[in-house]
Amino acid sequence: MQAVQTMKVNFEQNQVSHMVEVSHDDACMLMYKHKHPSERFSAIDLDPYGCPSIFLDAAVQSVQDGGLLLVTATDMAVLAGNSPETCYSKYGAISLKTKCCHEMALRILLQCIEKHANRYSRYIVPLLSISADFYIRIFVKIYTGAIHCKKTTSKLAMVYQCVGCDNMTLQPLGGFKSNPTEKNPNQMKGFLPTGPVVGEHCVNCNQKHHLGGPIWTAPIHEPVFVSRVLAELSSERHCLGTRDRIEGVLSMVREELHDVPLYYSMDRLVGRVHLETMPMLLMRSAILNAGYKVSYSHASKMSIKTTAPAQFIWDIVRTWERTHPVKPAR
């Protein structure tokens, strides 16, 4: 109750009391009261202590069409693979303990929001997804459209993680292909995938796989939105103490490969085979010279996000091993 009184005092001191309505109700009940289309909110910000999933059912119903939903999750131990069974019970997905766990956490939360929205013929469009410090934060727009909900399976995938080399392989839950007709030449038709996409053992190290997911595999950022936020930050009127950090993170986000889910970690690649660290510039140059795309992920300074297949990445590591062999002590 003290927090509510403090809010009221702050509003009065800032002379905005006439613009703000303070509520001390249950958050879910407050949102459920505004789920009618004429009473929906233009923006909802969920910032609970721990897991936000208990608020998502109410939130996706009470945001207006094209409205903004902001979600923060601080239970990173669950999302990062330390408790996969708890992650499934809270988010409907199995988390994996891997170096790219922070991006995987973002994608687990996105698929959770999408599933809640789909129950009401609604779907999400991610604008920005950030992993920072001890939490993750997601910005999505909510829209209504049963046709778009049918495409959800093409945006989700299970994840096979090799227990030896940590290689990740995605198994889509569905897909769409062209199915033109005379009435609708642009018609698309959904199809079920075939599987599994991996054999019993990994082709790189002959080890077995763990299965995780499902995760969101569509883009997690909207480049135009990120550029607009950066442009707004560069204006002289902003005097945020953390502006430099915000600009740095958003600049990294803007340069990310948006159509490549998850990433490799340089220290894990060479560490698995006990090699000395390979210069990041050398790895990136090898990938680019082969005609593939490569970028960092904002979630890790040692990340390698690339369109190159896993076999090619390991070929680079093997080449590095020939010139920098494993020392007998290792």
- Average pLDDT (137-160) is 96
> What confidence tier does 316 reach under pLDDT thresholds 50, 70, 90?
very high
Cis peptide leading into residue 37 (ω within 30°): no
Burial bucket for residue 7 (CB in 10 Å: 0-12, 13-18, 19+): middle
User: From CA 122, how far away is CA 142, in angstroms rounded?
Assistant: 7
- Which pLDDT score is estimated for 190? 84
Whole-structure pTM value: 0.93
Radius of gyration of the chain (CA): 22
Pick from 208, 293, 298, 289: which is nearest to 247 by CA?
A: 298
Pick from 123, 128, 127, 126: which is nearest to 153 by CA?
A: 123
- Which pLDDT score is estimated for 59? 98
Q: Return the amino acid letter for 195.
A: G
Structural domain for 310, as ranges: 263-330
Contacts of residue 23, defined as CB under 8 A and 6 or more positions apart, other chains included, come to 30
Contacts of residue 69, defined as CB under 8 A and 6 or more positions apart, other chains included, come to 43, 44, 46, 59, 60, 63, 113, 124, 139, 140, 141, 142
Residue 126 contacts residue 138 (beta carbons within 8 Å): yes
> Does residue 305 belong to any structural domain of this protein?
yes
- Which pLDDT score is estimated for 180? 82
> Does residue 286 belong to any structural domain of this protein?
yes
Joined tokens for residue 10 = 């702050």
- Which pLDDT score is estimated for 19? 87
Question: In this structure, are strands 63-73 and 41-46 parallel, antiparallel, or unpaired?
Answer: parallel
- Which pLDDT score is estimated for 237? 65
Joined tokens for residue 159 = 């994840």
Least trusted range by pLDDT, from 61-65, 155-159, 183-187: 183-187
Mean pLDDT (the chain) is: 93
- Average pLDDT (86-114) is 97
- Which pLDDT score is estimated for 292? 98
> What CATH number is attached to the domain comprising 292?
3.30.56.70
- Which pLDDT score is estimated for 330? 55
- Which pLDDT score is estimated for 238? 64
- Which pLDDT score is estimated for 273? 85
> What confidence tier does 151 reach under pLDDT thresholds 50, 70, 90?
very high
Question: In this structure, are strands 156-162 and 168-172 parallel, antiparallel, or unpaired?
Answer: antiparallel
Burial bucket for residue 182 (CB in 10 Å: 0-12, 13-18, 19+): exposed
User: From CA 149, how far away is CA 174, in angstroms rounded?
Assistant: 12
Residue 183 contacts residue 234 (beta carbons within 8 Å): no
Distances from the Cα of 165 to the Cα of 26, 97, 282, angstroms: 47, 13, 20
Q: Return the amino acid letter for 288.
A: L
* Number of domains observed in the structure of the chain: 1
Q: Return the amino acid letter for 281.
A: L
> Does residue 40 belong to any structural domain of this protein?
no
- Which pLDDT score is estimated for 311? 92
In what helix (H) or strand (E) does residue 288 lie, and over which residues does it extend?
helix 280-289
User: From CA 278, how far away is CA 317, in angstroms rounded?
Assistant: 8
Express as a percent the part of the chain with pLDDT over 70.
98
> Does residue 287 belong to any structural domain of this protein?
yes
313: pLDDT strictly greater than 60: yes
Contacts of residue 310, defined as CB under 8 A and 6 or more positions apart, other chains included, come to 167, 169, 204
> Does residue 313 belong to any structural domain of this protein?
yes
> Does residue 162 belong to any structural domain of this protein?
no
Contacts of residue 173, defined as CB under 8 A and 6 or more positions apart, other chains included, come to 153, 154, 156, 157, 158, 193, 214
Joined tokens for residue 291 = 């005609």
Q: Which residues pair with 212 in a beta bridge?
A: 159
> Does residue 246 belong to any structural domain of this protein?
no
> What confidence tier does 90 reach under pLDDT thresholds 50, 70, 90?
very high
- Which pLDDT score is estimated for 209? 95
Burial bucket for residue 34 (CB in 10 Å: 0-12, 13-18, 19+): middle
> Does residue 307 belong to any structural domain of this protein?
yes
> What confidence tier does 29 reach under pLDDT thresholds 50, 70, 90?
very high
pLDDT tens profile 230-281: 998 887 666 778 888 999 999 999 999 999 999 999 999 998 888 888 999 9
> What confidence tier does 188 reach under pLDDT thresholds 50, 70, 90?
confident
227: pLDDT strictly greater than 90: yes
pLDDT tens profile 268-308: 999 888 888 899 999 999 999 999 999 999 999 999 999 99
Total count of residues recorded for the chain: 330
